[in-house]
Chain A
């Protein structure tokens, strides 16, 4: 080891000093060149690395490997063999100012479940559907409001209903009372057809006409059992004498958000057990609807009914014990209403209804039979949600007897389960 060290020292001593300096310079130059080269390569590698990263990102975005998923399955639908079942509770509080002594107990202040409707419906088979509405009421017990079969795909594109249903007469009668804009039916409907409108057993056929025009025309004709709804006076009480009815709906989209509907209805029936058709009720309805926004809408609706009656000769008491006979106590009567309804927002709505009706029943109304009943109704509705609604209504009515009445209603309507309203 000592020998090797001595050799190195000897070599260093014998190498000339200049030559050593030159070597050092050359070495330094080489190191500098190599350093520059390495730096250059590093820059290149960095750039390439960045490009690779970008490309990778793009590749990953565009060609993201598919996430393993189960094969597409049909959308899970419920077991539909159970019918759609829903219930609607209609709770009404009524505060009255009875100035007319003729009012019965219905006119005193009260709170009751006016109706609890059980609504059932389902397809029977590929061609038909069964719908039923059973109403439970504190006062009237149980009532079958509707139970009818709808048969689709009949010849000429007609659809038939068979059973007990709300006939397509005008605008208010085909709607359940809990779905009206007001707490109660318009006076003309109450007086002529019944307090709740009219639901009758029968059969009707409906067809939407295929005409080359932008307006839509739908025709309905039907045969119903005779009679009215509860408290109605248009037809006689005999159910076996049928009522024939027809309705034409004429509809036009004026713009995307404004539309107009004009309907004509006619119902011909009997006022007693006689089979002849002595009562003709002709109806005209018009609705102008304008949608302002998602939850804002204005509706102007009116219905009028003109009634022609041919009654049998009637013997009457003049009040002094003298009887006299009226050969044709029938005649012409008419009534109608106008409704202005505004949906202000998702939660609030309000409106006004004006009523006019000439009563039919002269025996009840005595000498005032040709006078009219008039009323004005205002309401405010709060929509708690899609399924719960609260309404306050005030009505002022002037009766044919000269009496006046002010009534305040508070109504709560609550729905559970499945309850799809039929299109009107």
Chain B
């Protein structure tokens, strides 16, 4: 027998030899050194010689035969200190588009901003974002709409040339005692405000006017009359036990949605220890996401609002021992509401979205009766993001037409598109001698403007913001200006003849005026992005003088018999300044699920009355709008979204939808958004809308499980009894997989999800998801990895609405994995259902077999394809792509990965820091963006983790759990605060 030699006892007993050293690359050596050493150690034999020959020939053959595209990567000559290639940096900054504020972190990879996240340090937005904020990073790279250079009469010009001409012109006009108007959107930057004041001193003829196409003038005027302060108070939804909203979509578009959402959900969550829910009633005409979340929603015509508020006021007056005021026929819902409000006096809140100052005065009076001022309504830190008074613009247009305005400088405004009477504005601007626009992108107004002085995108700018009094934040550039643009503030400084740029101005202003400190504080503040000062507590006294004329005026309002056309801002587009953003354009409206168009929403009854059905068009004052039948729309009303129908606003926006701003009007000092005088008739055309969800019913499946608060308090698993039943039946013939390390899972609270769709855009930005266009959406080929399913329940005229975010469920017993012939989709040892794109041959069997329908196929090549000319077709717009995520090839299947790149990043970070991974450290893009924090991600193997806790909650269930797919996503039942138990 041959002798057996052994080196160690392990070898003798045939055990694996564990050697850690050998696997590691010795420190201080690179790979080439190691290879060299290897070669040096090995004697050069014939075998080795042939090996190297073979390798060299093969390499040479491959290198010479395969033609690889030449990609230029230019290394840093001097590497910046803070940049490590492959590592992202985050910079705190501020998003403010002229009406919506958000404190953000900008993720920068290799010098380019690629993603926006909420800044959790901000006590205003608390880390939440909205879809518009998430999408704003894409507009930075909008090569089709952004100006590349200053223009004079449409021709490229130089900055020095236009500066000279404008300065001369300003001097000339002011010397002749003429007026130059700086027409701006809402400005919340204290430094800019100061700068404008200084500009006005330098040039005495200059005055600043604020214009906001969808303003809050009604509230401002009412508060001026009632409290002597034209401000918007802070609405503390978290302190209110009863919330009554009259048409205010405060979770979607009203004033400061991200902020209000974070407050609202505090009283709407059951995952904290308090088992309490606030009561929310919504009176509205069109179905909004806020109305969808309400415990009770009443569909009303806008003209009914005055009567209802009068009744409410009257009943509350009686309760408080005062005399009642005249009101119409009492409505039961209001009497009930009055009782509820009165019961929690001081802990209730009534808001209205109306722009009619009289209504807002009445709302103030109601809140005053309920003693809400100082408790749920706070004047200490009023909201400053809405300052525009509609009457200012009105006056300006008449002055322009009268020829008394010498110069008009437009700053972030586009009145030729969004003014209710664009003709008057255009004829006026033609009479103005000096016209200039600071707009960074092309817009409709620039056609009539002599100088276009493009500003930076906000991600290229220095700025500051004060969204609420005492709450400051800073913006910092995260990329060098891509084009030859200049910040408007720099232009003002230049024209004033000041040395130094706006950055120096801003910094010295902050150090001296806001921080009142030194450079070090400035640096730390800049790093945090936010700064707060305690404002002096301000209490207000209600001036009843204003109430009497208001109630008299409102009492005269009768319920209109005609069809009322409501012009509203929808979630993706806001007031229309984001229309050229393809991500937002393809974001389905949370309620209607329609994208790529605006349309006339009609109730089924109204549609029958007008003799139209889906697919027809409706002629509203000559505008042919596509008809959309919207359950829950108040009968006798039509809702149409603003912001569409641009004629010159970049390649995506131009020609999409119809501009309904001309249907708005100016009346009683404010702009009206409810047009009851419009002529509505059946149109002649046919029009197909692109909808991402055609089916609103769950077909009796327990997909969304819900209950009411009473039943929930009795038994926490109410509405979710099936879960326990299915858990009991959980048997399998096969060995169950054990997850030894991590086991990733996600819990989604249906109670706090408001359907706002910020997650959809966040996911799109994070995961390089292509935009496919209207035609493809119509073929059910939208690519979003996360979608918000919306289901209706109950009455077709006023349905209950539920939202359910749906992404890959990462089933532990996944139907898709079994059927893939090439194992391109498989299960990771951490419970992730993963896709290897390189292996996928595109049989689409997994798509068929996925019961949740969350898999997406690349039907075409979406990147670098002229047919999909959205954001992946030019070098500039592709800069937004996340380098951590593959851009998928045509013919492969893709789907949610639980943001595996983020998991990997944090795991590696924890490993290099030699510590266990903390709970909540990994946040997928959707969860990060969520203003309601409804999406919780974590490790199920960690019993202390938030997600483990939520999985143990009796409300937790899995989707289609009867199929035994064992999803890693859990949903928490929806609990409504109402009486009857439909379950």
B is bound to A: no
| A interface residue numbers (CB < 8 A to B) | none
| B interface residue numbers (CB < 8 A to A) | none
